[in-house]
Chain A
């Protein structure tokens, strides 16, 4: 193949039929407010950990919803629990508690 110096980026298509959402459903049952997130990103903008890393609550939720648990947990681990995201969330989501629930429900070894 001729190298044009660029290529088609890898598809980020996710086959939702293959995604096991058991844990996410459990998380959602415990924290019903999670479903009201509209991915506005205010939480990400204020995040103390996000200041130094790629941690982002918004992305964590998106990733978990799409079965990308491993990547999500990598971000969760960086959270400092400072609670700033609760203060700014436009939907009044108890983000910090959801993060705690995630560390309780998900298990990295399973992945």
Chain B
């Protein structure tokens, strides 16, 4: 008869209890920090069958199989899912095995003892069990060995990743401190030690191909050494205890936090406070995988890699170093690339925005002068209905303040409107009121509202049903913050593409080589990828840059960054140009006045807006002259 208790289980039980209590308290805190409405939403989503099914699906694909990492980096995907899924299976199968074969099974034990022994029994099962020769016992043993092997193979990759990040496709990995190193080493050793411990007494406790044949027979030469085996079991338990005690203070907290994050996200919650509720769940869910380091435009400059999302999240999490948090909050370009690659979908930009809103500004803006701009609308070019087409409903053109820095865009647009024979009104011809997004990005939301209101009023008064914008920054805030019901909002790429497809304008095709730069606010924010490419296909040859679409690199001029210096911006711009000109295009085409202005200063080749190249290649219909 094997014993049912041994002192070596104590470290494990203590560690396990600690981590459970810690997580439960953390969970309760997060739930209570949520705004009331959010808490209700969360509760409802847990019981609603549809969202419950989605929860289940997402938990499996994200926590266990890490599907998203597989898609980006298969090797890393294997590493994660082998450890996570393998471990999960070992726990599950281990429990079933314990239920089926536990020596405690037939014993009458007091409730409390039964509970604690059920806590450790599946973990140290081979120590307490006796080899059984039934078929199901063999199957269990085989499965346990199989998943143990899967985990160990994952750990091997993890070690390689640590030593040679390039082998798994990473340029830079996150740097860690002492605690993190301790936890990592304890995690890496848990399963190899378990293997040794199980193997050392596989002749008694049973085992399968890995523990019994490879382990006991080959490694231990078929000898059972009681002291050695006992030491190994102690080591296994202590190792687990170290891991669990340090877990809450390390990045491995992502294991429990991620599950919570998925549930909260599926309930439709968003960050409202930078250090409370949803944001906490996000912050703890970040495993510091470092995928956001390589993609961040800031890390092109070596010393600046510490400004990337992962380090920002770490600063926020530690709660100290307010100066660092502030700097990282304010230097970020808000380009969104880190979120695009984040396997956990951590919306670090929402946290940064919430943080920006927290900063206090003593001097408040005063936009009372906007009230006096009643004639603003009428200073714009009045609509003249064209003699050729009077049925066209009126469209509104809002160039935005940035486009006034690049008059080539507005001129090109006017010409395109003429050629398409549109009944249009250039509403901010004589200067625009800023759309409000730049103000939003500084965190001064209320002040941005004043700008938004004025523009909304002006647009609504015009009675137009379509609004064409030239600036993606405007486009984003118009889509997200403006209440313009009944008015269709289009960026000029979408509009021009539509004109070409409907044959309202026609363009000449040449074999000029272009490369297209996706502006962050148009591409990543709204997925407008195909329209501009389609236009360029009609005009010339589209070449590829190094990365495009959702992985396009910010031009460096983003107004999302408050603190970035000119030199830092220039480095990003130069890098971005280098990426774009990889295949020797003749011209860089973009669709944002800010990108255009930023690139034009440093680019060795011509940079143009998409409206410009369309205008250059328009087939002119002589009957429709240029007005004014």
Contacts and interface: CB of A to CB of B under 8 A. Distances in A.
A102 interface: yes
B196 interface: no
A80 B366 contact: no
A80 B362 contact: no
Interface residues of A, number: 33
B439 A81 contact: yes
B562 A48 contact: no
B402 A94 contact: no
A81 B361 CA distance: 14
A48 B367 contact: no
B362 A108 contact: yes
B364 interface: yes
Contact of B366 (A78, A82, A105): A78
B525 interface: no
A48 B432 contact: yes
Given A73-B363, A80-B439, A107-B363, A33 B565 contact: yes
Nearest to B373: A52
Interface in B325-382: 330, 359-367, 369-370, 373
Nearest to B435: A82
Contact of B369 (A52, A82, A84): A52
A53 interface: yes
B620 interface: no
B596 to A, nearest CB: 10
Interface string A70-92: 00011011111111101110001
Given A33-B565, A94-B563, A80 B364 contact: no
A91 to B, nearest CB: 8
B390 interface: no
B594 interface: yes
A77 B401 contact: no
B597 A87 contact: yes
A104 interface: yes
Given A52-B373, A73-B363, A81 B594 contact: no
B433 interface: yes
A106 interface: yes
A88 B557 CA distance: 11
A104 B361 contact: yes
A96 to B, nearest CB: 7
A97 B563 contact: yes
A106 B361 CA distance: 9
B369 A83 contact: no
A92 to B, nearest CB: 3
B431 A104 contact: no
Given A48-B431, A94-B563, A94-B565, A87 B363 contact: no
A96 B441 CA distance: 12
Nearest to A108: B363
Contact of A103 (B330, B363, B405, B436): B363
A43 to B, nearest CB: 12
Contact of A83 (B365, B559, B565): B559
Contact of B559 (A48, A52, A96, A106): A96
A100 B401 contact: no
A82 B437 CA distance: 8
B133 to A, nearest CB: 75
A86 B369 CA distance: 23
Given A52-B369, A92-B566, A94-B564, A84 B363 contact: no
Nearest to B568: A94
A35 interface: no
A25 interface: no
A17 B433 CA distance: 40
Nearest to A97: B562
B401 A103 contact: no
Given A94-B563, A97-B562, A84 B405 contact: yes
Contacts of A48: 401, 404, 431-434
Contacts of B401: 48, 80, 82, 84
B444 interface: yes
Nearest to A84: B405
B402 A103 contact: no
B598 interface: yes
A55 B218 CA distance: 83
A77 B368 CA distance: 10
A30 B562 CA distance: 13
B451 interface: yes
Interface of A: 33, 46, 48, 51-53, 73-74, 76-84, 86-88, 92-94, 96-97, 100, 102-108
Given A51-B431, A92-B567, A103-B363, 16 more contacts: A48-B404, A77-B364, A78-B365, A78-B367, A80-B401, A80-B433, A82-B434, A86-B566, A87-B557, A87-B598, A92-B566, A94-B565, A103-B362, A103-B364, A104-B361, A105-B362
Closest 3 CB pairs of A and B: A92-B566, A51-B431, A80-B434
27 contacts: A46-B404, A46-B405, A51-B431, A52-B433, A73-B363, A76-B363, A77-B366, A78-B369, A79-B365, A80-B367, A80-B438, A84-B402, A86-B559, A88-B405, A92-B565, A92-B567, A93-B566, A94-B565, A94-B566, A96-B438, A96-B559, A97-B563, A104-B359, A106-B362, A106-B363, A107-B362, A108-B362
